[in-house]
Amino acid sequence: MADSNQQQALAHESVGRLLFRLAVPAITAQLVNMLYNIVDRIYIGHIEGIGADALTGVGVTFPIIMIVSAFSSLVGMGGAPRSSIKQGEGDEAGAEETLSNCFVVLIGISVVLTVLFLIFKGDLLMMFGASEVTFPYADRYLAIYLCGTIFVQISLGMNAFITSQGYAMTSMLTVIIGAAINIVLDPIFIFGFGMDVTGAALATVISQAVSAVWVLLFLFGKRSRLRIRTKYFRPRAKILLPVFALGISPFIMQSTESLLNVAFNSSLQTYGGDLAVGAMTILSSMMQVLNLPLTGLTQGAQPIISFNYGAGNIDRVRKTFRLLLISALSFSTFFWLLVMLFPGVFVSLFNNSDPQLREITIWAIRIYLAAALIMGAQLACQQTFIAVGQAKSSLFLALLRKIILLIPMIYILPNFFDDKVFAVFLAEPVSDILAVATTVTLFSVQFRKILKSREKELGLAK
């Protein structure tokens, strides 16, 4: 779609057709991104002789990796909706200043995170559930991965600004290019060069670097409607504070995955040892299989909702959300059915050589993902709050599921069950049910008020 037609499509094209056209590339990108995130674990889990221990070691690095990704969401997912809303309001200069300020901030964040995590990675890995057996694998993988922090920040954080402009195919290619390189390099480095986890990390860093270059070539080039401009490189509080306020919700959603993994891994290490922690590594990957396509769907809806909210096209905002909710629930229900009926198929992707690990994971997956069918509603409502700039509501919902409910449940439920490992896994569906019920109730009340308030603000109220 040419630049001159981009905003017209967001404002006037059929909502169903537009959502499909924007969401399919975004979902495809997230599915490929899922491979990007878990392909290392799939290959590592099949390394002869050390697969199970190496897989568990890499799983222990997941909290730190999620924190790195979370900062890209703080800036990218906070800045992209702000930029879209400004476009809807006709403020092109404000949209470009938001984009450029966010780019500079991401560079600064990259430097700080790289230095801090390289200094403290050993202590953090032991805190996050590494044992004497799994620590060497975790340490080697993370040391290489952290050297690519700047590439993660740029490829993830700045790609959100490509998606928010409606360039869904370009955004998809960002992920596909990186994932394809990663998938090709992984077996070469891991098995061909005999580098095991070091090779997996090196393949990931190289692929992220290529993705980052692709993003920058687009956003500095002439194809993008909004461009990174050096005249806006001086960070301004007026621009960044609203970005951080809106981005704090997705930041918490991702960064709390780190706390969540610490809570799960430490508890499971206590009650079930390395075997239970290894199962959790696979289960967290399965949660990604659910969440990433849903994230792609919400990313497809975000430009439509944000632009039309800014432009005052409230009916299109309502129609887009309804379609988003139906689509998200349909996917999460389909995923839940597959997992409940064929758990062994999913587990086999990660490890098929250790019968004990396979047995405990198949048992645990039906417990851990028991409430997955309703998670579509959680993400649809939560991300719509972000799309219309509602920082406080999205922040509360981000805190609710993981911090207020899930982490306490991990420590509380084992006090009521003889099977402590079962109780730890049970914390996930119990928290999911409570969180979704709260989210849907809050959203049904607040969303109407938000849209009516916007109509009054623009003089559109009937």
Structure tokens at 241: 């504070």
Closest listed residue to residue 173, CA positions, set 185, 161, 159: 159
Helix H or strand E segment including 202:
helix 196-220
The average pLDDT across 327-341 equals 93
Q: What is the pLDDT of residue 187?
A: 87
| DSSP output for 435-454 | HHHHHHHHHHHHHHHHHHHH
**DSSP letter at 158?**
I
Q: What is the pLDDT of residue 2?
A: 44
Query: How far from each other are the two terminal CA atoms of the chain, in whole angstroms?
Result: 34
- 172-221 confidence digits (pLDDT tens): 888 888 888 988 898 899 888 888 888 888 998 999 999 999 999 999 98
- Residue with the bigger pLDDT between 4 and 352: it is 352
Q: What is the pLDDT of residue 7?
A: 63
Residue with tokens 């990796």: 65
Q: What is the pLDDT of residue 1?
A: 41
**DSSP letter at 131?**
-
Question: Percentage of the chain surpassing pLDDT 90?
Answer: 31
Structure tokens at 219: 């956003």
Contact (CB, 8 A) for 339 and 357 = no
Rg (CA), the chain: 22
Contact (CB, 8 A) for 219 and 158 = yes
Structure tokens at 393: 């509501």
Rounded CA-CA distance 297/300 in Å is 5
User: Band of the pLDDT at 348, cuts 50, 70, 90?
Assistant: confident
Kindly tell me the burial class for residue 255, based on how many C-beta atoms sit within 10 Å of its own C-beta (0-12, 13-18, 19 or more). Answer: buried
C-alpha distances out from residue 178 to 118, 134, 371, 398, 411, Å:
24, 28, 32, 29, 38
Q: Is the pLDDT of residue 366 over 80?
A: yes
User: Band of the pLDDT at 47, cuts 50, 70, 90?
Assistant: confident
In this structure, the number of other CB atoms found within 10 A of the CB of residue 444 comes to: 10
Q: Is the pLDDT of residue 300 over 70?
A: yes
Q: What is the pLDDT of residue 461?
A: 55
- 86-96 confidence digits (pLDDT tens): 887 778 888 89
- 72-119 confidence digits (pLDDT tens): 989 988 888 888 888 877 788 888 999 999 999 999 999 999 999 999
